[in-house]
Chains A and B, each alone.
Chain A
Amino acid sequence: MFAAYALKTERISTCPPLPEMLAHKLNAVSGVGRRVFEFRIYPPLFDALRMIMKIEGTVWKFGDNIDTDVIIPAIYLVTTDMSELGKHCMEGVDATFAEKVGPGDIIVAGKNFGCGSSREHAPMAIKGAGISCVIAEGFARIFFRNAFNMGLAIFECPGVFQGIQEGDRVSVNQDTGEITDHTNGKRFLANPVPPFMQELIEAGGLMAYVLNKRQS
């Protein structure tokens, strides 16, 4: 389930056409542009893609109660362009964060991550900055919902804040929810994704889920 989530949160724009029988048919929500589209993957490619899109990156740490105003200050809410929002990601706590962060890097945070406003620009800015996932002790409700709806990978994992340090190299096994800190060797297990959220992920996000149901 974790794997399926990762697949669908990445951008896959080209895939050779396949006979229906051989194809896994998936819907996906793309990254930039948020276009809902459909793509197909050869079964053997599934594992290969999972390898490519394994979440692994350098950790940037933030504390408790990181609110949406510091994730993306309101003056930048005059655009819906994800990469533009990404340029100002976390600007409220670290003005140079967007310049420092590398593609695939990971945010580790304390409790109540994403509290405050309902602005979906917050998960968009994080994704736009190139962050592969957010691992936190806990998430604020609307941020949690938004992240699933728009396709930012997030993992709730008590104990992670104490156990992982800034700059550590961390990977996430999306099949099992296992989080490994390769710098200090510690391992953690993320809370499982609630079943209905898994259905949303399988469909490729809320819009794809709603449109699929409408067609069926």
Chain B
Amino acid sequence: MPQTITEKILAAHAGRDTVVPGELINVRIDMALANDITAPIAIDLFEKSHVESVFDPERIALVPDHFVPNKDVQSAIQVQAMRTFARKYHIKYFFELGEMGIEHVLLPEQGLVLPGDVVIGADSHTCTYGALGAFATGVGSTDIAATMITGEVWFKVPESIKLIYDGQLREWVTGKDLILYTIGDIGVDGATYKAMEFTGDVIKALPVADRMTMANMAIEAGAKSGIIPPDEATLDYIRPRAKRPFECYTSDPDATYAEVRTYDVSNIEPQVAFPYLPENTRGISAVDTIPIDQAVIGSCTNGRIEDLRLAARILNGRTIDKNVRLIIVPATPTVYRQAMAEGLLEIFLAARGIVSPPTCGPCLGGFMGILGPGERAVSTTNRNFVGRMGHPSSEVYLANPAVAAASAVLGRIGGPDELD
């Protein structure tokens, strides 16, 4: 029976030859992830179960990244709970400050999520790892607690939507723009419960970093997962990093899809998602004069070295508008050091930006750049909900790193083409 990549991965992990969308299955998981917001609930439930050990201390990753470096006493207590738990149960992949980075950049970088894996994370952007050809999805803390006991999780096999991207990418158009455009097209619930499979010549030529940005935001269309069949580019990324064997799956040509959509990217310009939903997208040329107070470049969506290089291309030799605060967040210590080695940090600081340690802080209005009443930010992050980055009357406009950097210079939302 012809199957999609998603169905093949789930079947393999359920000990089956095939699975059918809608079926409920129990699958073995390769990695379970939780952060400093979601892990404490899972830890509490695990401890109350009186089970003496976790299913496999090498298949649990605990990443304190949201409110770390600890923003207050309460967040310090949450990280303490993770640290204590990690020591007690010999969790191999607990990332202490200095090694800690934004989870969805860190885990691929460290070779902990691989093609063909089933990964669950108590964080909705766990779907990022689909970019490497894994089935990866966000769940809640209770699911993580149960999986820490059993090593398994239940799923309803999702239907798949095939999204084909053809044509020639315009200048300054990135994976971020493709996914924003797609969410604008299908809506924030356009893929609810489904797997979004990104394919086409454009995807095949897309760098792995951009692929991760696309899969990362599958959740913003309501999807269970986003996935890109692995190819040479995937393997080039994976081979030096992989810490265990892995298997590559691809979809059969005659596999069944709930829906197939084709996009000619030649018509897509850099996108901006207006408040208060990621589906409120416009091409950059359709954006009026919108003054901004802050620009944020970072997050699990766009905090990779490639994103910082793109921002630096814009900011090199320029200074940002006097009314704008620019916050740049390298996603991991490795990204930070690489940016330093390449002179990017010097460019950011010379432009009058600041460089934060790795953290999710500003993206979710936690700390490190909270917006006040009525303030506006352009941000390379993934959500622009009411109050996402601070006060309920503040506004977040989502864009790619080139647009965010250009906007910081212009003092209003604008693209690189508008710079002198």
Where the two chains meet, the residues of A that have a C-beta atom closer than 8 Å to any C-beta of B are 34-36, 65, 67, 69-70, 73-75, 77-80, 92-93, 95, 111-112, 115-121, 138, 140-142, 145-146, 149-150, 194, 196, 205-207, 209-211, 214
Contact B140 A112 (CB under 8 A): no
- Chain B min CB distance to A116 (Å): 6
- Chain A min CB distance to B193 (Å): 5
Q: Mark B4-45, 1 if CB is under 8 A from A, else 0.
A: 000000000000000000001000000000000110110011
Among residues of A, the one whose C-beta sits closest to the C-beta of B44 is: A80
Contact B193 A207 (CB under 8 A): no
Contact A146 B45 (CB under 8 A): no
Interface size grouping (class) on chain B = 35 or more
Among the listed A73, A77, A140, A211, which residue makes an inter-chain contact with B387, where contact means beta carbons less than 8 Å apart?
A: A73
Q: Mark B228-241, 1 if CB is under 8 A from A, else 0.
A: 00000000000000
Q: How far is the CA of A80 from the CA of B219 in the complex (A)?
A: 24
Q: Which 5 A-B pairs have the closest CB atoms?
A: A78-B74, A146-B140, A149-B142, A112-B189, A74-B364
Given contacts A35-B48, A118-B140, A142-B139, whether A79 and B150 have CB atoms under 8 Å apart is no
With A78-B72, A118-B123, A205-B142 known, 13 other A-B pairs at CB within 8 A are: A67-B386, A69-B383, A69-B386, A70-B386, A74-B364, A80-B40, A111-B189, A117-B123, A121-B37, A140-B192, A142-B140, A149-B142, A196-B24
Q: Which residues of B are found within 8 Å of A205, using beta-carbon distances?
A: 142
Contact of B138 with A by CB under 8 A: yes
Given contacts A34-B44, A78-B72, A210-B149, whether A141 and B142 have CB atoms under 8 Å apart is no
Contact B385 A70 (CB under 8 A): yes
Q: Which residues of A are found within 8 Å of B145, using beta-carbon distances?
A: 207
Q: Mark B166-194, 1 if CB is under 8 A from A, else 0.
A: 00000000000000000000001100110
Contact of B277 with A by CB under 8 A: yes
13 A-B pairs in the complex with CB atoms less than 8 angstroms apart: A34-B44, A69-B383, A73-B387, A78-B74, A80-B40, A112-B189, A116-B219, A117-B124, A138-B189, A140-B222, A141-B222, A209-B146, A210-B146
Q: Which residues of A are found within 8 Å of B44, using beta-carbon distances?
A: 34, 80
Q: Which residues of A are found within 8 Å of B142, using beta-carbon distances?
A: 120, 146, 149-150, 205-207
- Chain B min CB distance to A123 (Å): 8
Residues of B69-110 contacting chain A, CB below 8 A: 72, 74-75, 77-78
